[in-house]
Structure formats: C-alpha cells, structure tokens
Structure 1
C-alpha cells in the first residue's frame, strides 16, 4: 500500500460514485498523416464554467506518427490493496502509448492539470528489448506494476501479443508479465478480478493484419481473434481459453464488474461474418470453470448500395460495428457504441444474464450522418466510438475516430474530429445529448481524437478493493 493515500483512490465503487464529479477530461489526439505532433487535449467538464465543453489545455508531444490510441493512469484505486510501490503514490501521471510508433510517453498532470508535461519517453527499443513486445495498446495500474497490453512481438509485425510490466515509480519496462501463455497469440485488452487473482485478456489481431487497413480476406477467413483468455493474475499463467466461435470476429473491450465480490464481466465483439451483426458477451463462473454466453445481439441495418462505402456495397447493409463498451461503476448500466450505425445504446444489466435496452441516441453513422444539436447543419463523419462513463454514471463522453487506416475504409470522405457528452438517467434509464458540449473540428487543431480519461478517475480505469 502507498505511504500516502491519494483522495482519488476510492475504497469501493460506492465511494467513487459519491466523490466530486470530474472537472477535466484528457483526450488522445493524433495526426493520421504523421506530420503534426500528436497531443493530449484537455477539456473543461465543469458545467458551471464559462469554458465548459472547450479545449482549455494542450500538451503537444515531441514527436509525430505515434497514433495515440488508449492510455491510462500510473496509479488508481487498486493501489489500496496491493504492494509494489517505493514510497508515495498518486494518480498523477498519464501513460500514453503510441499504437503505431511503439513509443510511450509519460505525462505529469501534477503541477497544472490543464497543462500536462512530458517527463519520460519509453522508446520502442526499450519495450522490445525488455519485454519482447511492440504496438502498445491498453494501460492499467495494477499489482506488481503498470500493465500495458501489446498487439505484437518485438520484430516483424507478428505475434504473439501480450502484456508488459512498467515500474510504478521509475516508469521503466521491467519485462513481460506472462510466464506461461499456452495457445494465446493475439493481444488487445487486459483487465482483472483483483480479489479473485484472475486476469482476463481479449484478442484483435497482429499489427501486420491491421496497420494497412482491413483485409476482407482476413475477416471472411475468420482470422481475427475470437477468444477470451483467463489467467492467474499473480503469476501470469494461462488457466483457460473460451472460444466465442470463429464467426464472431474481434473480441475487444473487456469490462469486468467493479464490485470485487463479483466474477463476471462483458466483452464486445465487433462483427459476425454470418450476418454482419455485433454482440456483447457475458463471461461468468460455471462451477470451477469459466463460461461465456451471448448476452446482447445487435443486427445490421439495411441500406441502399449507393449510400455505402465500397467495402460494404456488396452486403447492402450497415454493420453496427461494436467497437467499445463501458460499464457504470455501480455495475447497473452498460453502454455500447455502434460505430457503424452511429448509435450509442444503454442497457440495464442489473441482471447481467438478461440485459434490457433502456436508451439510445445517434450521432454520425456511415449512412445517417446524424448531426449534433449544437450544429444541426453538420453531417457528422465517424460515430460514437470510444466512450467513457463518469464515476457517478450521469455522463457518457464519446469520441469519433476508430483507427486511422480503418476510418478511411468505412468513412472514405473522412471522420473529422468531434467529441460529445451524453446525459444518462441513472434511475429508470434513458439518454439525451448535451447541447452545450461539442468540441469539434479546429478545436482539436486538425488532429483526430480517440480515448478519453477523466481527471480523478472514471468507470473504465479503476478496480476496487472493497465492496462498501
């Protein structure tokens, strides 16, 4: 346990929900052309502020071409129940990987949260030499170090992908986390059931399969990842693999229950090659084994051929393309982004085995191009993609870019850059778009935007040690 306790380390989900609301959001911004320097944009999330919904800070990185994607905090609430720290620890540093460059920047938000500063760069060579990986993707603070998942091996754009450990204090790569990976090969997300000594990983693809765009032969040939992998968290040994079926391609975002007594969670699957539907699966214990079941299925929407990009014209439909999901801190509401159709869905998962759709909003979309209420004249490119839920569950932030080389396939006329905030009813369900929050276009200085992290924590970056 750290020597001093950061007030944003919450003992339980209930404590996180009761804490003061977020005032700032950090957003990854990148130039898909690799010419402008990538950056972290800082957004004002205080509805009482005169600059609400505006970019109020900008941290430019020293390099371009990183393709900032997912990122995370150096420390969070899980620090209250694990060792491995040399002295004081606080939620202060953003660990920001570059998915294309394999370079990771460490930014200090401490002196001025609106102006983070780069204090260390983990070069691709250090990651390759010490952990044997490349193309870092997801960051979570955890026991024994900061966990950083990776899509590829050190050389050649192939696999296996896996998890590297980064020292909490020095930010040096200390090695690979896995000690026995069995048949696991593809990497993507990593999360855990901390108290149960269980880690979970999901699967996308190797770098060579994705970096130049989506190869239809890989999709129709069912070559993308379709397993959930269960590990012993304490020693990095693979325990079990659950196959979702090879028709279910790309098992991506993992959202375990926040209550440390629960051992279930959800994973989003991008597409079914059988009917273009998307799905969300529930993993859970079944005796002494792990099992998974399809909990939500979202069908494709019919569309005229001339409304579709070339890649979809042969199918005559828009796939939902579930590219992110997020679970509220109270484990009641699951949010599902359909980046193809432009829909953000809300499900009541009080009974995780039987989700009930409770709300929906639309922005963008391949065919609809639904406008934001703040700018009804704009036909939006992209759609809700990465989503982040506030700790109290009342706000859902969405950004619109998926991955540069894939953006052009589904939105060949461009996605632009925009971010939205959706107000969520946490009583009976339902959502509405906040008309005051719509940074877009030149607000992001010509860069695209991807993941959001909220100052003091959010729904997808914390695991908790106590139930109440």
Structure 2
C-alpha cells in the first residue's frame, strides 16, 4: 500500500486526459482449441522505441481451456471516492477471468510490466461455493472492491439459477459473495458499469452458456431468445429499480458505456443485431424526473454480399450484418467508437449531443466479405472487435477476436491474433497507423486490451471535470 494516492488515480476525467500517455498495453490471448494455455501479452506502445508495437513480455498460464475474454484492474480512480477508505491502493494487479473454466488469475504488473507474474489463482470451486455463479466476465474496480459480472449460474451448464455480479476484496482477492440483494427481473447478464456519485448501476444481457459456448444458435437468435433488456440499479442498496425492454428483435444489447463525467446522467449501449433487418444499433439512456429512459439513436445497415463470400451461417441472408460487438467512449465524452465486427468497420460518432450521434469518421479493416487489408498490406482476419481508447483520446487500439466458437462460425478461414491502432483528429476522423501492427504467437487469438495507467473503459470518476 502507498502512503499517498497512486498517481494514476485521477479525481476527474479532464485530469486523466492530462496525464502522461500510455507506455504499455496489456492484451489477453486465447488458444481457441485449448491446445495450449491462454496468456497475457505486454506490448510496447512508446513511439520511437526499438520494440514499438511488439510483444515484450508474456505471462503464460499453467492451465488449458480457460478462454480469456475480458479483464480489468484491481484499483482505479474510483478508489478516490470520499465514501470509502481505499484511496491508498495501487493500480497494480490485473484480474483475468477464464470465461470457460470459471478460474480467475491475478497478475502482478510490478515492479515493471516486462516482469509481470502470476500473483494468485482463484479456482472455480471457490467462486461456485461463495456465489453460486460461473463464467466470470467483466471486471470493474469499485471504491470498496473488485466487481465481477458472470454469464452463468450454478450447475455444469451454468443454468442452475441466474447469473449476476460478485465482489472480491481488492487487496487479498478473496471472493466475498454476491453483490445483488434484489435482482428484480434480470435473468441474463453481460456487462455492467455505473455512475458513482449518482449512485446507479447499469447492466445488460447476452445469453446463458448453452446459447454461446458452442457457438451462436441461429434458431434462438431468429426466435429472439437472446438478451434484449437494459437494467438500472440502486448502487448502494444493490437492488434493481427499473428494467426496460429494447424490443425482442434487438438481440444482444452488450456493452454499456456511461458518460465519464459524473454530472452527466446518460450513457450508451451497443446492440449486435436487429433480427428484422440485420441492422446494428446504438442506444442512449438518460435519467430524467427520477426515471430512466432509453432510445435508439443510431443504426448501422447490413451490407449485401455474394453467397460465395459468406459463411454458411449467413448465406441464406445474402448480406453481412455489422455485428456491433463493442463500443467505447472517449474520456471527454465527445466521441463514441463502434466496432462493427461483421462488416470490418470501426466507426467514430460525435456524441456531444448524446441523443443525436453524428458519424464523424470511419476506417475499414478485415470483415467477413470485404477483407480489407491493413495499410501495411497485411491481411486482417476477423474484424474490429474489442476497442480501447487512450486517456487523451488521440489513439484507438483494437483486436479482432470475439469468442472462439463464434469466430469459427463467422470467420471459418481463421482469425489469427492481431492488434492495430488508429490516430484520431481533434474535430473527428481517424486513420490507421501504418507503423503499428502487433504480431502475436501462432495459434493465439487476441481479445481485450488494457493500458497502463488506465484507459477509457477502465476508470470511473468521483468528481466532475472543470
């Protein structure tokens, strides 16, 4: 423990933007056939460095079949909350869940990222015993502990009871127990995030393990059996206060991104596909008059494609849906980045007016039918997927793998691990950096990214920007 707050903790989003730029990026790697252990790659992102855009260290896990997906820090700017006593923690440990194994790894990034090591392993039996949940997914560092969402309940198939959120101690990493006291109508889970001073949490839905572990189930998708609700919670009381149905055709509302500045009571949700027309969509939520509201504020159309360019799953449609699989919001709440994994497009929206997003920029790379190459000429398998933004908003990083079995369905020719970066323009627009291309070891796919010192999908703030 430090004797003063970690210098990477910032009271407000504006102060976070003024901090020094990132030096390293952490990216989880998964072995899709479980032939070798999953790993954490540490990448040099310092321009001018002799190892720029190269993997400079790898932490290989001792087990196989974990399926790394999302991960996060043990502590962040939320530790500066005036209501808790954790201001002297360090942003030091990465919490990495195995989504298929329900095992969690704690990786210590000190004294240097290039010497990161495994600090602790939490076996699935502890999570089952203390929470009744399985398939840990999203990790967020809260003021009083580490919050982890899950995608499965108990039992072998994860269908014995609903999934939810549990809390871990942020220093010992002991699993403490379920977070919810009253879950209301929520029976599926995916993402979550919050506005700390306004005291609310937002959660979303994907599906239960039998609906995703062996690939997407077309019959469930076309009969609208995946998640299509957004839920709002009283954060301190730990109870569901409102649930809104997006409409059953809006399947898989996944990532939730609240405004970073806590005085702004709104945020965004990305929805994978509309089963009536194959569109992807962006939704804006806000609170007004003591109630939450949500509306669809942007749509992204599918793209027609010849049958021979499509995987069997899509040949009957004659088109590629955008498949909005991730979104991320810049620290100044000005730009929303939308990953269209199916069409191979990264979109940038100006959301200064949150209920009127305006397309401000776009780049193409990969894609089911287009297969757009990188500016360096290399092929990019898959499409833009997990996206991460630098604190100053000048760089946007992304990878290309969604989930092993889904990769195989939508991209049967393979999804070799890749990570790219685009530079942004102050008034909108982005351009892929020709000199940034990360080569990962053969047989691995790349998923979520975290930046040292924090990033736009890591930190939540307790004080408003000035």
Query: Which residue among 447, 453, 462 is the counterpart of 1:450?
Result: 447
Q: Distance in 2 between matches of 1:14 and 1:126?
A: 39
Query: Could you tell me how far apart the structure 2 residues matched to 1:83 and 1:111 are?
Result: 30
Contact kept, 8 Å, 1:2 with 1:80, in 2: the verdict is: no
The answer to whether the aligner puts 1:346 opposite 2:348 as a matched pair is yes
Superposed displacement of residue 83, structure 1: 4.9
Q: How does 1:12-411 map to 2 (within 5 A)?
A: 12-85=12-85, 88-155=88-155, 156-158=157-159, 159-374=161-376, 376=377, 378-411=378-411
Report the Cα offset of residue 87 of structure 1: 8.3
| Contact 2:268–2:282 (CA under 8 A) maintained in structure 1 | yes
Aligned residues: 463
Deviation at 1:115, TM superposition (A): 2.5
Change beyond 3 A, Cα 1:261–1:86? closer
Distance 1:151 1:164 in 2: 12
**Hey, what does 1:466 align to over in structure 2?**
463
Aligned residue number for residue 429 of structure 2: 430
Unaligned runs of at least 5 residues, structure 2: none
- TM-score normalized by structure 1? 0.97
Contact between 2:80 and 2:86, CA under 8 Å: does it hold in 1? no
CA deviation after TM superposition for structure 1 residue 85, in Å = 5.0
3-state SS, counterpart of residue 439 of structure 1:
strand
Residue 86 of structure 1, CA deviation: 6.7
- Paired residues of 2:327 and 2:337 also in contact (CA < 8 A): yes
The answer on whether the counterparts of 2:79 and 2:144 sit within 8 Å (CA) in structure 1 is no
Q: Which runs of 4+ in 1 moved over 6 A?
A: none
In 1, Cα distance between the equivalents of 2:17 and 2:148?
26
Rate the CA distance shift 1:87–1:283 in 2: closer, same or farther, 3 A.
closer
Under a length normalisation based on structure 2, what TM-score does the superposition of the two structures give? Answer: 0.97
**Alpha-carbon separation, structure 2, partners of 1:352 and 1:147:** 27
Following the alignment from structure 1 to structure 2, what is the Cα–Cα distance between the partners of residues 83 and 110?
A: 28
SS at match of 2:405: helix
Match of 2:9 in 1: 9
8 Å contact 1:3–1:87 — kept in the other structure? Answer: no
Give 1:103 deviation, angstroms. 0.3
